[in-house]
Structure 1
Amino acid sequence: MTATLTRPATRRRQAGVLVLACLVLLVDGYDLFALGTIGPSLLHDRSWGASPSTLGTLGSVTALGMPFGSVLAGWAADRRGRRLPMTVAAAWISLSMLGAALASDLVQLGAARFCTGIGIGALAPLVSALVADTAPAGRRTLHLAVALGSIGVGGTASALLGRILLPGSPFQTLFWIGVLPVVLIPLIWRMVPSGALRPSAQVPVAAQAAELFTRTTARGTVLLWIATFMSMALVYSTTAWLPTVMMKNGYNLGSSLEFLTAFTIGASLGGLLVALLADRGHLKAVTAGTFALAAVALLALSSNQPRPVLLVVSALAGLGSLGCQNMIIACMSAFYRPHLRGTALGVGLGVGRLGAIVGPSYVSAATALVVSPRAGFVAFMIPAVLGAAVVTLLPRTLAPAPE
């Protein structure tokens, strides 16, 4: 049984939801990129006893919590509505950043990052489902791109604050700033609808999940899960390791953070352009193209080029790396019907988060085992190439499967 929204979303409500979604995902992006931003400072603070492999471990521990958040939040959003799960997730992520700020050793920091990962994992499917529900016809991908582009804005804020505050201030300062989003909770409670899109209290969890594998959805579900895995492996390895890998290639901390800033700005602004193209009926091609762009740009980033060229290439790498994740979310939002959208996004992103777990440790191993300073960039490229190949196998026209 398919339910629809009980009342059409007005333009004012659409705009309000979009602004709120941007604020929430800005928090998501800040918390996501904070680990990569503080990485070099953590390594240089000998009192913590951190090594390069520590960054990979912390990145993987953060990602380990994400599948739990994604699956639970997506399931709860379809059964209980979007409001309560989003409120809980916002409160949880602020408390987790507080825990990271107060941590006194790597074990406590790892535990706090695991909890942060649960919150990060929950917010993406919740916000994506909310935006897809309320977006105007023919502008769903654009609205999703605007909202998801805020992840890059949050990453930019993290990098800029790191540039200003580090290494002169303790790296915990970045975590303290991450506690502030608790002020969004009243806005979420006021603006997000509370009702579910289906009478799901009567639908068993197993039956709800089984809808992802009907005759018309099974192939698309599997391919979308693989593509999501590759996009997450790419995104979370670059966000955790890009500054450190660039420093291995001879850049100083200031320069590497400048490139990370360009990376996130490229993801945010470029994402709007590719979303406009995707909404014109080219979603599949644009999605494959972002994966391919990431691979090419990351390869170019590993070579010696003039600084202005490298900044542009960094922006293109950000567009490809974060853009592919945004486009995969748009693909999932287009492929599933509204009553299943939260569950599909939650489970799909939950499976994809396994790539987020593998990605940072995979790059850590590659940089440790291969002497070449370009090893990290080549490691970034592999999931990008594989993701592009998988997307080409998706149905030509992505649309809700017929009942």
Structure 2
Amino acid sequence: MDIAKRLDRLPVVPMHWSILLATGIGWLFDSMDVGLVSFVMPALQKEWGLSPSELGLIGSIGMVGMALGAALSGTLADKYGRKKVILFTLVLFGLATGFAGLATGLTTMLLARFFVGLGLGGELPVASTLVSEISPLSVRGRFVVLLESFWAWGWIAAALIAYLLIPQYGWRIAFYIGAVPALAAVFLRRAIPESPRFLVQQGRYQEADAIVSQMEQQAGMKVDETSKDWTLVKEQGVSFRELWSGSFWRPTLTLWILWLGINFGYYGFVMWIPTLLVGKGFLVIKSLQFVLIMTLAQVPGYFTAAYLIEVIGRKAVLILYLAGTAVSAYFFGQSNTVTEIMVMGSLLYFFSLGAWGAVYAYTPENYPTRVRGTGVGWAAAVGRLGAIAAPYVVGVLYEALGNENGYAVVFFMLTAVFAITALAVLFLGQETRGKILT
């Protein structure tokens, strides 16, 4: 029996939960860092006298780093291992977050945010790949969505920091707090094993066997030594061009459209909602309070997606939640009263983050192990192009059209993006629920 079959037949054991928790804590701090930027943007605008387009640059430059980090980390993870890349990128973005707190103007802030993005972009797709590769078949999708659910807690933490501390201590305190736990997460991740599937691909079967055997012992399962498949299956990865050839072209096309669309739509609203609400006449403190309440809706969004993804499948969940996000974005753009803003804003967070969880679960399952890191990394990198463009495009539109017209047009644009992305998954996507990872 080979490593892949032994991994897939396992029940959930304590080691699975410890890996999910350790990886998830790092994911939480990643999210908190991204969230802090959107919450400090109104304060930066006031202190430095920045225009909406300059604020958009602060949001976009981090995404430039994330695009580059995702593309590089995927290839490096297929060559050197998932664990090494995760640890390095955590240290990088933690140090850069602390540097952002020392920024004295737009230029130094842009530099800091680029390196933060480089670390974040490299860490996220590799972490989801590791969790996908090490989880049992029956709960693989659910575990990756649960990993992504830590993003909600990080965003909630960012909202709390912004609401409770920024008005009293200033925006710099947010970045100082954001730097410390990111570095501490490195120590948690020392307990994370390397992916056994990756180790087999590298010909390191003894190491892979030791990890899987530990899981089998926790499950009370015994494997006859004579039944173990000790065949080494080391294979070469593929080049970037090969992602568009043979059997890879369709999943690559689907994933690139999916990642591009959800990044543009998501970062188009999360980076700007606090500022847009201020533009509608709400005080900064009230805007932060509204967003804090809205972000709570992320949690049930993730958990419902985690349940449904193993029941109705990855493709159906993606279409359902992307369509829900499109509808919520449209009505949020038409909202004027506090009640309308809170209800539609909560639904916007609910559906969009549920969709994100499904994206991270679905993406690694479209590629074999030898190319999984590269395929996932490039999909994430292309997606970050949408994240780069969105904050700047929103800033330019908002500045050109004014507070009222700009607000409605921005959310109409985001509605169209989410709807087109849902249609792409419907017509191009292939279901991967129950698929054996090779």
TM-score by length of 2: 0.84
Per-residue deviation at 1:402?
9.7
Counterpart of 1:31? Answer: 33
Which of residues 417, 428, 431 is equivalent to 1:383? 417
Counterparts in 2 of 1:369 and 1:213: CA distance versus 1, 3 Å: same
- Alpha-carbon distance in 2 for matches of 1:262, 1:135: 33
Any gaps of 5 or more consecutive residues in structure 2? 205-233
SS in 2 for 1:392: helix
Per-residue deviation at 1:123?
1.4
Counterpart of 2:77? Answer: 77
1:248 counterpart = 2:250 = no
Per-residue deviation at 1:155?
1.1
Counterparts of 1:323-402 in structure 2, within 5 Å, are 323-371=354-402, 372=405, 373-398=407-432
1:91 counterpart = 2:91 = yes
- Alpha-carbon distance in 2 for matches of 1:155, 1:210: 36
TM-score by length of 1: 0.91
Counterparts in 2 of 1:376 and 1:41: CA distance versus 1, 3 Å: same
- Alpha-carbon distance in 2 for matches of 1:191, 1:282: 28
- Alpha-carbon distance in 2 for matches of 1:164, 1:171: 11
SS in 2 for 1:179: helix
Counterparts in 2 of 1:304 and 1:69: CA distance versus 1, 3 Å: closer
SS in 2 for 1:138: helix
Per-residue deviation at 1:281?
3.4
Please identify, of 321-330 and 240-249, the stretch whose mean Cα deviation from structure 2 is larger: 321-330
Counterparts of 1:261-276 in structure 2, within 5 Å, are 261-276=292-307
- Alpha-carbon distance in 1 for matches of 2:82, 2:116: 20
8 Å Cα contact 2:152/2:298 also seen in 1: yes
SS in 1 for 2:272: helix
Counterparts of 1:67-216 in structure 2, within 5 Å, are 67-180=67-180, 181-193=182-194, 196-197=198-199, 198-199=201-202, 207-216=238-247
- Alpha-carbon distance in 2 for matches of 1:357, 1:200: 39
Per-residue deviation at 1:334?
2.2
Q: CA RMSD in A?
A: 2.5
Counterpart of 1:284? Answer: 315
What letter corresponds to residue 62 of structure 1 in structure 2?
Answer: G
Per-residue deviation at 1:210?
4.7
- Alpha-carbon distance in 2 for matches of 1:238, 1:354: 15
* Equivalences, count: 399
- Alpha-carbon distance in 2 for matches of 1:54, 1:363: 11
- Alpha-carbon distance in 2 for matches of 1:82, 1:155: 25
- Alpha-carbon distance in 1 for matches of 2:415, 2:135: 33
SS in 2 for 1:216: helix
Counterparts in 2 of 1:204 and 1:216: CA distance versus 1, 3 Å: closer
- Alpha-carbon distance in 1 for matches of 2:252, 2:24: 27
Per-residue deviation at 1:341?
2.1
What letter corresponds to residue 421 of structure 2 in structure 1?
Answer: G
Counterparts of 1:37-56 in structure 2, within 5 Å, are 37-45=39-47, 48-56=48-56
What letter corresponds to residue 386 of structure 1 in structure 2?
Answer: I
8 Å Cα contact 1:249/1:374 also seen in 2: no
Any gaps of 5 or more consecutive residues in structure 1? none
What letter corresponds to residue 332 of structure 1 in structure 2?
Answer: T
Give the greater-gyration-radius structure (CA).
2
8 Å Cα contact 1:290/1:324 also seen in 2: yes
What letter corresponds to residue 191 of structure 2 in structure 1?
Answer: R
Counterpart of 1:319? Answer: 350
Per-residue deviation at 1:306?
5.3
Per-residue deviation at 1:4?
4.0
8 Å Cα contact 1:284/1:394 also seen in 2: no
Please identify, of 359-368 and 275-284, the stretch whose mean Cα deviation from structure 2 is larger: 275-284
- Alpha-carbon distance in 2 for matches of 1:391, 1:266: 24
8 Å Cα contact 2:235/2:370 also seen in 1: no
- Alpha-carbon distance in 2 for matches of 1:369, 1:3: 58
Per-residue deviation at 1:265?
2.2
Q: How far does the alpha carbon of each residue in 1:176-221 deviate from its partner, in whole angstroms, 9 at most, with x for none?
A: 011112112122123232773412998666x344553342221121
- Alpha-carbon distance in 2 for matches of 1:236, 1:172: 22
- Alpha-carbon distance in 2 for matches of 1:366, 1:379: 10
What letter corresponds to residue 199 of structure 1 in structure 2?
Answer: Q
Counterpart of 2:221? Answer: none
